[in-house]
Amino acid sequence: MKNPNRSHQFLEGERIYLRGICLSDVTASYERWMNDPDVMAYLESRFYPHSQGGLRDYVGNILNDKSNVFLAIVLREGDRHIGNIKLGPIDWIHRFADVGISIGEKDCWGKGYATEAIRLMVHYAFTKLNLHKLTAGCYDANRGSEKCFQKAGFSIEGRRKSHYFCEGSYVDAILLGILNLEKSKTDL
């Protein structure tokens, strides 16, 4: 069946596209991702259970909040919604924002989709929103996250020692960032 959201695609990539999240995206699959210990292993959302009602409230709130851009990651082939990516909160004075990503469908891990989605978001943030810098963060053990951000152009800016409580011990936080270099040159 053709996905009715297909026409809303916002950022087009080679194998995926990103489109605005809508309330109808809060499906049983989305609820499954948010309660899957593998997907949530290094996410702050893991500490509480998630219901479709609660997720609908979250999505509804974020849709009304212009300091966040929350997009669905969708495979071009078959229009399958496999995860989400968020830019925000955006600081409009300093012109930076954080990027967070989650690929909920585990059979889609390791295929380069997160890297592609982050690249699309970076391009949008720098060329359309005129942001100066993007940041991201992950747990030290989350190699996949660290690597996909680096592949998309982020560099490691620092490490916060013993920052997160994870599986019974404290682990470091890795801080990543990317500058809009073209914009920095014209700032002078």
Torsions phi, psi for 140 (to 5 deg): -55, -35
- Residue 71 is a binding residue for ligand COA (CB under 6 A): no
**Tokens 């399958």 — which residue?**
80
Instruction: Give CA–CA dist 114/108, Å, rounded.
Output: 9
Instruction: Give CA–CA dist 74/2, Å, rounded.
Output: 13
CB-count exposure of residue 62 (10 Å: 0-12, 13-18, 19+)? middle
- Residue 84 is a binding residue for ligand COA (CB under 6 A): no
DSSP 107: G
Q: Which is nearer to ligand COA, 103 or 131 (CB)?
A: 103
Residues in binding contact with ligand COA, number by CB under 6 A: 22
Q: CB–CB of 97/134 below 8 Å? A: yes
- Residue 90 is a binding residue for ligand COA (CB under 6 A): no
- Letters for 119-148 (x = contact with ligand COA by CB under 6 A, - = none) are -------------------x---xxxx-xx
Beta bridge partners of residue 75, listed in sequence order: 16, 80
Q: Which is nearer to ligand COA, 111 or 163 (CB)?
A: 111
Q: Which is nearer to ligand COA, 44 or 187 (CB)?
A: 44
In order, the DSSP letters of 5-45 are: GGGGEEEE-SSEEEEE--GGG--HHHHHHHT-HHHHTTSGG
Closest approach of Cβ 108 to ligand COA, in Å? 6
Q: Which residue is nearest to ligand COA (CB)?
A: 144
Closest approach of Cβ 185 to ligand COA, in Å? 29
SS3 51: coil
Stretch that binds ligand COA, among 5-13, 16-24, 106-114, 154-162 (CB under 6 A): 106-114
- Residue 151 is a binding residue for ligand COA (CB under 6 A): yes
Question: Considering only residues 113, 126, 154, 164, which one is a binding residue for ligand COA as defined by CB under 6 A?
Answer: 113
**Residues within the interface to ligand COA (CB under 6 A):** 39, 42-43, 83, 101-103, 109-115, 138, 142-145, 147-148, 151
